[in-house]
Amino acid sequence: MVHPGAIPQAGERLAFWLDDGAHGDMQWMRETQERRASPTALWPDARSIILLGMNYGPRSDPLEILTRKSAGNISVYARNRDYHDVIKGRLKLLAQWLAANAGKPEVKVFVDTAPVMEKPLAAAAGLGWQGKHTNLVSREYGSWLFLGSIFTTLELEPDEAETDHCGNCRACLDICPTQAFPAPYRLDARRCISYLTIEHKGHIPREFRAAIGNRIYGCDDCLAICPWNKFAREASEAKLVARDELQEPSLSMLAALDDAAFRELFSGSPVKRIGLQRFLRNVLIALGNSGDATLMPCVHARLADESPLVRAMAVWAAGRLATPGEFEELDISFGLVETDPDVREEWALGALERMGGTGALS
């Protein structure tokens, strides 16, 4: 539990991050800056904030699937039900109990969707500390905690803040495939695979595609490598335990999904919110990184997709998997009739690379 004024530096740090442009195209971060900077700006009547964490520890090492290039890697938190729904239901029950047993104070429940800075608040409440990867680390649960909060008009005794136990360790910084941490405790979302595969709506910059590997929704590298995970426990909440079909889904199966099949497979999952087009964009990048030419038919099938976002990544993937002769034939069949400028550029760059002109772009 903390008082609303427990994180006085958070607003200044948020402003620096936003002014640096590190939020990418997440404009909602800028739009909610004032309310996000201070809990009382969000709700002036709040007198206490109760922070809660729910463990979602994986059953196996999330880094292992990165070596299985024909499978898609979905972030641990998204392999079952949407955590917003799971946690919010629990928080509402607790808030109702609090209101009924403490003189009927006003209460408000928040789980990530409101402009609340849960991580610094949770650190101030003693749940853990913000590690060098900016995420919360717990001595009891490692890096695997969902966070939620209950704002109330009750005056409650605050807990002691947790101290930083990262020491000289920089494992989370060094493992990042795209070097998204310009310094300890600072994240540049524009380079973060989680941001690129989930929040970013456009074409993923070419400089990051190879580094994405087979990560098709989010990235757990900086979380999974943390030494404090030796104390982590497997999630006990059934709705947060990974569904078997989302543990290591084949890229060939995912690439063939239509909208109805996509919605059915990811029903109740946070993956569904990015939509089929962005999802296929990510899957095609993973296909291009697979190094498996037998998967080329999956790519070929998307070269005429109705979405330019999908077609562009299909071209990029084809450039990685097809032989020079095959790519030239595809360019004649598809590239010459392409009308979207971004997709046409992918064809041109792919052809240039095939001629040995700019391999660094791949």
The range of the structural domain enclosing residue 288 comes to: 250-362
**Does residue 332 lie within any of the structural domains?**
yes
Inter-residue contact 223 to 194 (CB < 8 Å): no
Contacts of 115 (CB under 8 A, 6+ apart): 32, 35, 36, 42
**Does residue 334 lie within any of the structural domains?**
yes
**Does residue 106 lie within any of the structural domains?**
no
pLDDT of residue 170: 98
Q: How do the pLDDT tens digits run along the chain, 362 residues long? A: 999 999 999 999 999 999 999 999 999 999 999 999 999 999 999 999 999 999 999 999 999 999 999 999 999 999 999 999 899 999 999 999 999 999 999 999 999 878 999 999 999 999 999 999 999 999 999 999 999 999 999 999 999 999 999 999 999 999 999 999 999 999 999 999 999 999 999 999 999 999 999 999 999 999 999 999 998 989 989 899 999 999 999 999 999 999 999 999 999 999 999 999 999 999 999 999 999 999 999 999 999 999 999 999 999 999 999 999 999 999 999 999 999 999 999 999 999 987 775 544 44
**Does residue 328 lie within any of the structural domains?**
yes
Instruction: Copy the structure tokens of residue 76.
Output: 């641990």
**Does residue 358 lie within any of the structural domains?**
yes
**Does residue 14 lie within any of the structural domains?**
no
Catalytic position from the list 25, 112, 164, 342: 112
Which has the closest alpha carbon to 24: 185, 193, 175, 184? 193
Give the count of domains, the chain. Answer: 1
pLDDT of residue 81: 93
**Does residue 337 lie within any of the structural domains?**
yes
Distance set, CA 134 to CA 125, 195, 222 (Å): 16, 14, 10
Instruction: Copy the structure tokens of residue 70.
Output: 């024909």
> Cα separation of 95 and 238, whole Å?
22
pLDDT of residue 263: 97
**Does residue 128 lie within any of the structural domains?**
no
Q: Is 188 a catalytic residue?
A: no
